[in-house]
Amino acid sequence: MKRIILLGSTGSIGRNAVAVIKQLKDYRIVGIAAYANYRSLLQQIQDIKPEMVTLLNEKYCRMLKGKVRGVKITCAEEGITEMVESTNADIIICAFSSSISIDAILKAIKKKMRICLATKEILVSFGDIVMREVKKNNVLLIPIDSEHSAIYQCLEGKPREDILRIYLTASGGPFLDKNIKNVKKSDVLKHPVWKMGKKITIDSATMMNKGLEVIEAHHHFNLPTEKIKVVIHPQALCHSLVQFVDGTLLAQVSTPDMKLPIQYALTAPHRLPAPAKYLDIHRVKKLTFQPPNFKKFPCLRLAYEALAVGKSMPAVLNAANAEAVKFFLDDKLRFSDIPKVIQMVMKKHSARQGNVKFYLEAEEWAREEVRRFIC
Ligand SMILES: NC(=O)c1ccc[n+]([C@@H]2O[C@H](COP(=O)([O-])OP(=O)(O)OC[C@H]3O[C@@H](n4cnc5c(N)ncnc54)[C@H](OP(=O)(O)O)[C@@H]3O)[C@@H](O)[C@H]2O)c1
């Protein structure tokens, strides 16, 4: 029986992970964690019956404690680290919508757990540190992001020196063929293919999501910036491609359903029957690919620039973006101003190499700059 900790259990990825794990015979969730949604967490406690639960928000955590008996409940970030220390888990799924669990992930790596990573912000801000620890401790870090899962699957067993480039596919979001001046929040929150949390849905509309994925891919696959390309593929059936030095392209194609990469992250290199509909290849009318428009979507360009600078710049990009998205969701920032704010913060930052504490401080500085700029 594989014992699993699920961080971000109440979110879109978290709920899909619960559905996947329920139909796997030899896997069991022993710990769950969320941010503030104590009602959903309460339902999950009754449904999953975990050994340990963490709620990051202390006020809601106290309310949860008042309603539950017989389960260990811890509050705040230290609660997750304690969960990693004490549940004797084999696997950790990280699906928080921010890099808040970085300490717990580093601890899980030291404890040699399999790391199934959905939270791209972890590699964007702390990629060098995380991948160094992964290598040192000889653990598996398997992507859940569908594009990285696709690349991971295409690369299995292939020598790295045979890679010419990788192509991360992007559906193009809701504004692929539409004007992005004066868009409404409701339009931004309507993704044409994927049903996801709000933050990643906004990131998909600005294409910052793809930019963060470029940085994530750099760390996952140890590839230089020039070998990581983005290609627009509106049908969202091909989840990414690898081109090898002989010109061959390998692609991973399947129904767009996050249950597939979640299950693969848990069972790789083995495959089990799909927890989602099989793709009927005869119904696929066309697969199209086109280059991205960097002018229309400056966030993508900013992410490439942050990766080229490296050091603390990706952490600054990530935090400035997250804060700008919050202001947009609160109707205090226009959609078209999101990249302008991020660029302004990046221009003010002198990137430096550092440890986790330093990158966390860089993130906090970037958030503060965004607040000062907008308020
Ligand atoms: N959804 C997808 O299809 C998809 C695909 C690829 C990658 N990802 C990545 O997976 C991660 C989760 O995405 P999602 O769509 O599942 O997000 P989501 O639906 O918004 O869920 C986020 C989860 O994180 C918790 N959370 C909320 N605010 C937080 C904060 N400030 N810091 C840490 N955790 C917080 C939420 O807890 P509460 O419910 O208590 O608020 C919830 O459990 C993101 O990094 C995203 O980029 C998602």
pLDDT in tens, 192-213: 888 889 999 999 999 999 999 9
Q: Are residues 134 and 152 in the same domain?
A: no
| 231 falls within a domain | yes
Best residue among 97, 208, 258 to mutate for probing ligand 1, ranked by most atoms within 8 Å of CB: 97
Best residue among 9, 200, 202, 257 to mutate for probing ligand 1, ranked by most atoms within 8 Å of CB: 200
Query: What is the residue-averaged pLDDT of the chain?
Result: 96
| 305 falls within a domain | no
- The reply to whether ligand 1 has any atom less than 6 angstroms from the CB of 233 is no
| 333 falls within a domain | yes
- The reply to whether ligand 1 has any atom less than 6 angstroms from the CB of 16 is no
Residue that is last in its domain, among 299, 319, 343 = 299
Domain that includes residue 81, residue range: 2-139
- The reply to whether ligand 1 has any atom less than 6 angstroms from the CB of 44 is no
What's the chain's Rg over C-alpha atoms?
20
- Confidence band of 183 (pLDDT split at 50, 70, 90): confident
- The reply to whether ligand 1 has any atom less than 6 angstroms from the CB of 95 is yes
- The reply to whether ligand 1 has any atom less than 6 angstroms from the CB of 100 is yes
Predicted pLDDT of residue 177: 86
Q: Say whether pTM exceeds 0.85.
A: yes
Q: Is the peptide bond before 234 cis (omega within 30 degrees of 0)?
A: no
Rounded Cα–Cα distance for residues 356 and 296 (Å): 34
Predicted pLDDT of residue 166: 98
Q: What's the pLDDT tens digit per position in 57-76?
A: 999 999 999 999 999 999 99
Q: For residue 282, report the distance from its CA to the centre of ligand 1, in Å.
A: 34
* Number of compact structural domains in the chain: 3
Q: Are residues 135 and 152 in the same domain?
A: no
Q: 107-110: long-range contacts (C-beta < 8 A, 24 or more apart)?
A: 107/81, 108/5, 108/84, 109/133, 109/134, 109/137, 109/139, 109/141, 110/137
Residues 37-47 have a mean pLDDT of 96
pLDDT at 275 over 90: no
Predicted pLDDT of residue 196: 86
